[in-house]
Amino acid sequence: MRLAAERFDVLVIGAGFAGLHALHTLRGMGRKVAVLDAAADVGGVWYWNRYPGARCDVESLQYSYSFDEQLEQEWQWSERYAAQPEILRYIQHVADRFDLRRDLRLNTRVASAVFNEAGEFWLLSTEDGRQFAAPHCIMATGALSVPRLPDIPGIGDFKGAIHHTGQWPHEGVDFSGQRVGVIGTGSSGIQAIPQLAKQAAALTVFQRTANFSIPAWNRQLGDEEQQAFKAVYREHRARAREVGTLYEFSDKGAFDVSQAEREREFERRWNKGGVNFVHSFNDLSTNKAANDTIAEFVRARIRRTVKDPAVAESLCPTDHPLGTKRICVDTGYFETYNLPHVRLVDLKKTPIDRFESHGVKVAGEEIALDALVCATGYDALTGAVMAIDIRGRGGLSLRDKWAQGPRTLLGLMTAGFPNLFIITGAGSPSVLVNMIVGIEHHVQWITDCLDYLQQKSISTIEASVPAEDRWVEHVNAAANRTLLPLANSWFLGANIPGKPRVFMPYAAKIGIYRRECQAVADKGYEGFILSTAGAPA
Ligand code: N01
C-alpha cells in the first residue's frame, strides 16, 4: 500500500517531559521516531503555563530527569521550587543537549489517529492535512493539558481580555492600573493571585471552593546544599522510584501521639513548607478523624493570617478532607487578602448572576472588571487523549469506549487499540506522584516492551478485556481505601460537567505499581494479547 504519509517506527504525540524522554530512549534503540506537538516549541505544560507565579511544587532537584547522570550533575537549579521560565529553559536545554529537535514536528496538532488493521500501523492526520504513519504510537499528551473555561452565563459578552492560566500570552500581560477578576482557587489561582495583586489596581477573586494551601517557603538554592544532594543523587533517585517524591513519611498515626505532639509535628512541617506537610502522619489520607486534625490546623492558620474574620471563614475549606483535592503550595496566598485592593467573593454565598460587557453581576451587585483571569483547570487525564479522534480495531472510537470513564490495563494501554501506549494516563499513579518519576518509568516499560516485541517478531500488543476489567476494579479499590473519592475533584472528573465520575489515577505507591508492571512484563506481558504479523488477534 502506498501512502502519502511520512513513515516512522514510532510516533510520539507531545513534546513535553514525556515525549522528549521517549524520543531520546527510542533513538538510542535505533528507532526512527517523530514527535508531534501543537506548540511552537518543546515543554508541554511548561510551554503553555506562563502565568505570573507559575512554578512547580515538587522541589527542583527532584523535578528533573534522572536518565543522564552528567545532565543531573551539570544542571544548576537556582531555587528550591523552580519557576516556569527555569523549567522551560531546562527542557529546552535537554532538547538541545541530546539533539532532539531534528525529530520534532512542532506546530503540528494531531486531529485523528486511526489503526489500519490490514497494515498494522497507526495513521495520524494533523489539522493542517499532513499524515504520519508508524506501527507504534505513544500518547505523551500530558495529564493537565486541555484547559477548561468556565461556563458562566454572559461570559461571551464580556469585552475585557480573558486569559486562561494554561494558555497564557507569551508576551506576558500588564495588568497595571486594571480591575482584574480571577475565577479559580486551585494550584494555578493560588500561585497567580499574590502576583496579580502586585500589579492590579483592584483584584477580585471569585471563589467557588476554598482550598487547602501550604506555604512553600521558597528560597534560593545554595551551591553547598545542591552539591550535597547531587553527591548522593543515585540514592535519591532510587528512593524516588519507590515513593515518588522524597517526603518525610511518618510511621505513626495521628492518634498514636498526644494532641500536643501532633500539633508540634504539624507546626514543624508547616515551617519547613511544601507538600511534605500532608505526610505528617501515616493515616491522614485514609482516616477521616485523623484528617480532621490536620485540616483544623490549616484552618487555624488561615484564621490567624487573614485579618477580616468573615473573609478568613470563607477561605477555610470545610467541604473536603485535606489532600482529597490536589493540595496547593503557595507564597503569600492568604496574606494577599489583607491588602486593601483585594476582595474575595464567596460564590457559595453570592453566586455570579452573569457576566456583562464591562464586568460581572453578583447577587445584584455590579463589579466592574477590565480583565478576567480564568484559573479554572483542565479536562484532566483523559482530555488530551480524547481530544484526538482515535479509532482502534473495527473502527472502535476511543471516545465511545471511554464514554463511561477511562478503561486501561496498567494505565498503559486500552483494549481494542493495539500498539497504542499512554504515558502517565488514567489507571496509573500519574498526577499522584512526581510526574517525572512516573514518566521515566512508563518510558522504560514501553521501550522495553517494544524491544521485546521486536526480538520475538511480534507485530501487535494490546490489552485483553478481562485483564483490563480486573485492572479497572483494582484501581477503583485502591482509591476506595483512601479518602480521595470524597472530594469533587478533577481526579474524579468532577470539574467537567457531564464527565463520568470515575477516580482516574491509581492511588498506590509508585513502587508497588512498578512491581505490578514488572511482573506483567516478566510473565511475557500477561494480560496482553500478542500477535505476529497477519495473524488474527
Ligand atoms: O485547576 P484546578 P488548576 N466557577 O482544577 C474553579 C497542577 N498544577 O489549574 O474547586 C467558579 O485545581 C474550581 O472550583 P471548584 C496541579 O496538579 C500544579 O489550579 O471546582 N469556579 C477551582 O477552584 C493542580 O491540581 C502546579 O469548585 C470555577 C479552580 O477553578 C492542577 O494542575 C501549579 C469554575 C480550578 O482548579 C490543576 O490546577 C498549577 C466556575 N465555573 C497547576 N470552574 C504546581 O506544581 C472551575 N472553577 C504548583
In 94-253, DSSP assigns E strands to 104-105, 110-116, 121-126, 131-134, 136-139, 161-164, 179-183, 202-207, 213-215
In the numeric block, the cell 479536562 is attached to: 379
One domain for residues 246 and 339 = yes
Counting atoms of ligand 1 from 1, which one is nearest the CA of 352? 4
108 φ, ψ (degrees, to nearest 5): -130, 100
Is 135 close to ligand 1, i.e. is its CB under 6 Å away? no
Is 537 among the domain residues?
no
Instruction: Find the CATH number of the domain harbouring 33.
Output: 3.50.50.60
Between the CA of 195 and the centroid of ligand 1 the distance, in Å, is: 17
Q: Are residues 247 and 170 in the same domain?
A: yes
Looking at ligand 1, which residue's alpha carbon is closest to its atom 11? Answer: 208
* 455 is a domain residue: yes
Could you tell me if 314 and 169 lie in one domain?
A: yes
Q: Is the pTM of this model over 0.85?
A: yes
Residue 1 falls within a domain, yes or no? no
What does the alpha-carbon distance between residue 145 and residue 386 come to, in Å, rounded to a whole number?
12
**Domain-embedded: residue 527:** yes
Q: Is 326 in the pocket of ligand 1 (CB under 6 A)?
A: yes
* 389/514 same-domain check: yes
Give pLDDT, residue 1. Answer: 45
Kind of pairing between the strands at 121-126 and 365-368: unpaired
Is the CB of residue 272 less than 8 Å from the CB of residue 214?
no
Please work out whether the CB of residue 144 comes within 6 Å of at least one atom of ligand 1: yes
Annotate 140-160 with DSSP letters as a single string: ---SS-SB-----TTGGG--S
Q: How far is the centre of ligand 1, averaged over its atoms, from the C-alpha of 92 (Å)?
A: 27
Instruction: Round to whole Å and give the CA distance between 197 and 29.
Output: 50
CA-nearest residue for atom 8, ligand 1, is: 187
Which amino acid type is present at position 216?
A
- CB of 215 within 6 A of ligand 1: the answer is no
Instruction: Tell me if 377 CB under 6 Å of ligand 1.
Output: yes
- Are 368 and 392 in a shared domain? no
Instruction: Find all residues with CB under 8 Å of 74, minimum gap 6, and list them.
Output: none
429 lines ligand 1 (CB under 6 A): no
User: Quick one: 42 and 187 in the same domain?
Assistant: no
Q: Tell me, yes or no, whether 388 lies in a domain.
A: yes
Q: Which pLDDT score is estimated for 533?
A: 77
Write down which residue in 374, 402, 430 finishes a domain.
Answer: 374
Centroid of ligand 1 to alpha carbon of 186 (angstroms) = 4
Q: Quick one: 355 and 408 in the same domain?
A: no
Cβ 237 under 6 angstroms from ligand 1: no
Pocket test of ligand 1: the residue of 48, 148, 376, 496 to mutate, having most ligand atoms within 8 Å of its CB, is 376
Same domain, 296 and 337: yes
Instruction: Single out the residue in 374, 404, 430 at which a domain terminates.
Output: 374
Same domain (yes/no): 387, 260: no
Asked if residue 536 belongs to a domain, the reply is: no
48 and 66 in a single domain? The answer is: yes
Same-domain status, 481 and 363:
no
**Domain total of the chain:** 2
Task: Indicate if ligand 1 lies below 6 Å from the C-beta of 493.
Answer: no
What distance in angstroms lies between residue 499's CA and the mean position of ligand 1's atoms? 16
Predicted confidence at residue 535, as pLDDT, reads: 60
User: Ligand 1: distance of its center to the CA of 188 in Å?
Assistant: 6
DSSP string, 11-66: EEE--SHHHHHHHHHHHHTT--EEEE-SSSSS-THHHH---TT-B-SS-TTTSS--
Q: Verify that 408 and 362 share a domain, yes or no.
A: no
**Does the C-beta of 489 come closer than 6 Å to ligand 1?**
no
- Does a structural domain hold residue 19? yes
What is the residue range of 17's domain? 6-146+380-531
Last residue of a domain, one of 343, 374, 405: 374
Ligand 1 pocket, residue 213 CB under 6 Å:
no
310: how many CB neighbours lie within 10 A of its CB?
Answer: 11
Tell whether 329 is covered by a domain. Answer: yes
Tally of CB atoms within 10 A around 69: 12
The pLDDT score that the predictor gives to residue 537 is 46
Contact 59, 244 (CB under 8 A): no
Closest CA to 520 of 445, 450, 421: 445
Nearest CA to ligand 1 atom 10: 209
Q: How far is the CA of 138 from the centre of ligand 1 (A)?
A: 27
Is the beta carbon of 392 within 6 A of some atom in ligand 1?
no
- Ligand 1 site, residue 447, Cβ cutoff 6 A: no
Predicted pLDDT of residue 534 = 63
**Could you list the pLDDT tens digit for every one of the 537 residues in the chain?**
445 899 999 999 999 999 999 999 999 999 999 999 999 999 999 999 999 999 999 999 999 999 999 999 999 999 999 999 999 999 999 999 999 999 999 999 999 999 999 999 999 999 999 999 999 999 999 999 999 999 999 999 999 999 999 999 999 999 999 999 999 999 999 999 999 999 999 999 999 999 999 999 999 999 999 999 999 999 999 999 999 999 999 999 999 999 999 999 999 999 999 999 999 999 999 999 999 999 999 999 999 999 999 999 999 999 999 999 999 999 999 999 999 999 999 999 999 999 999 999 999 999 999 999 999 999 999 999 999 999 999 999 999 999 999 999 999 999 999 999 999 999 999 999 999 999 999 999 999 999 999 999 999 999 999 999 999 999 999 999 999 999 999 999 999 999 999 999 999 999 999 999 999 999 999 999 999 976 654
